Amino acid sequence: MDSAFAHRNPDASAFEDGPLRGVRIAIQPNLSVAGWPTDAGSGALAGFTALEDATIVRRLRRAGATLCGATRMSEFGFGLRGSQAGVALQQQAADAELVLDLMGESRLAAWRAGVCGFKPSYGLVSRFGLVGLIPSMECCGLLSENLHAIRDILNTIAGPDELDFSLPEGETPDFPPRPMDPRATTLGTVTEAQRGLSPEQEGRFRASLDALARAGFSLRNLSMPDFDLFPVAHRIIGSVEASSCAGRYDSVRYGRRAPGARNWNDMYLLSRGAAFGPLLKGYLIQGAFFQFERYDAYEDACRIRARLLAEAARLTSEADFLVLPATDGAGVGAPASLAETYAQFAATAFANVVGQPVLGLPPPAGAVSSGIQLVGPRLSDARLLALGEQVLNLRK
């Protein structure tokens, strides 16, 4: 895709009547829309056109939403290098964007665009028709200036899907707006999540906390000594899942076949070598190493993840919600290595490891405070959005 945002003709298949009538939604080219290019930002799928709509797309169309185009993305959504997520909102070409969130991409893109970014609970939204990379951690994030739009879209796309067997059975949370009383709400801060902040960033985060306290919220200091293990667990488990997931791009099932191969093995190596960019290729090689050479390290990472899940559940039992600092990773620039990529998402990867919903709010216009992350227990998405609306209303 040459341009940052590829406009499409008005979506004639959208229902004329529905709760999302008139809402323009931009997607990334990893979400299947029948007849649209779906290359997921990778040479492995260059020229591929989707054969059917993803579940999310079908539900949006039934609700009357208009799919207005696709935004250029990083390769398979991994990181933000080469991504133009958020540009459709900045150009006022869309009212909301769907952005794959593997380790915080939707939230970082939202902060850079000066809008709200929401990562739903894992298992709330169907992944059928999504060209993904890390099945146990990825989901479609939502970007918009308007939290009401995010809530209405989430209400439309959330819920069980018989085509996605990874979704747990159970009732879909209800998303109508609910008032949030600050005096009856406790927000927990995690001491270890503030490590690594510059003095300026720490000062701005403290200013955000002071504003919440003045609004009547109760703040409680909490501790999670293993917080620094989130990126480690994500990197090992994520790379193994990505390596396994990308095995399909072998030029037989998917992907272009490189010329000049003398035998099957040459065909496989040449085609995969040409299919992926350097950053993703390094990630896949790392995953293969842990999968075949150091499987014990992968098992240890899974045990660490289980411990982190238990610790996250403990924190959310001690406070109604968590409030964590937000950094847009701008200091890292355009990461060229895996280490730089993970450094960029050091403040956000935790939510993908534990599957909790997170709402990223930008700083108020002209304020000295910073953006923040509001975190809720899994499947508390509706209450978390209500909290976000309350916080935004305090700024008016």
Is the pLDDT score of 252 beyond 90? Answer: no
Is the pLDDT score of 173 beyond 80? Answer: no
Give the confidence band of 304 by pLDDT, cuts at 50, 70, 90: very high
Pair 286, 372 in one domain: no
Residue range 195-217: mean pLDDT, rounded: 91
Pair 220, 268 in one domain: no
Tell me if 131 is assigned to some domain: yes
Tens-place pLDDT, residues 28-46: 999 999 999 999 999 999 9
Pair 16, 39 in one domain: yes
How many domains does the structure of the chain reveal? 3
Pair 353, 376 in one domain: yes
**Nearest C-alpha neighbor of 154 from the set 166, 131, 172, 134:** 172
- The angle that helices 381-394 and 147-157 make with each other, rounded to 10 degrees, is 170
Pair 187, 294 in one domain: no
Pair 125, 187 in one domain: no
Residue range 360-370: mean pLDDT, rounded: 73
Residue range 193-214: mean pLDDT, rounded: 91
Q: Which two tokens stand for residue 204?
A: 């701005």
We report the CATH number of the domain holding residue 90 as 3.90.1300.10
pLDDT of residue 157: 96
pLDDT of residue 367: 62
Residue range 384-394: mean pLDDT, rounded: 91
Is the pLDDT score of 1 beyond 50? Answer: no
Domain C-terminal end among 298, 317, 343: 298
Domain enclosing residue 237, as ranges: 232-298
Tell me if 363 is assigned to some domain: yes
As a whole number of angstroms, the distance between CA 63 and CA 191 comes to: 42
Residue range 293-318: mean pLDDT, rounded: 97
- The angle that helices 229-245 and 278-292 make with each other, rounded to 10 degrees, is 90
Domain C-terminal end among 247, 277, 298: 298
Mean pLDDT of the chain: 90
Tell me if 167 is assigned to some domain: no
Tell me if 171 is assigned to some domain: no
**Nearest C-alpha neighbor of 229 from the set 192, 196, 201:** 192
As a whole number of angstroms, the distance between CA 88 and CA 343 comes to: 26
Give the alpha-carbon dihedral of 312, 314, 316, 318, to 10 degrees.
-150
% the chain with pLDDT above 70:
93
Displacement of CA 316 from its chain's centroid (Å): 21
Pair 206, 343 in one domain: yes
Tell me if 175 is assigned to some domain: no
Tell me if 26 is assigned to some domain: yes
Helix (H, G, I), strand (E, B) or coil at 258: coil
Tens-place pLDDT, residues 8-19: 766 656 566 789
pLDDT greater at residue 304 or residue 4: 304
Give the confidence band of 372 by pLDDT, cuts at 50, 70, 90: very high
pLDDT of residue 15: 65
Q: What is the 3-state secondary structure (H, E, C) of 143-160?
A: EECCHHHHHHHHHHHECC
Is the pLDDT score of 2 beyond 60? Answer: no
Pair 337, 212 in one domain: yes
Helix residue ranges per DSSP H, the chain: 55-62, 87-90, 105-113, 147-157, 199-214, 229-245, 264-275, 278-292, 295-318, 338-344, 349-354, 381-394
Give the confidence band of 268 by pLDDT, cuts at 50, 70, 90: confident
Q: What's at 231, amino acid-wise? A: P
Tell me if 61 is assigned to some domain: yes
pTM value > 0.85: yes
Pair 14, 127 in one domain: yes
CA angle at residue 274 from 4 to 86, to 5 degrees?
20
Pair 314, 219 in one domain: yes
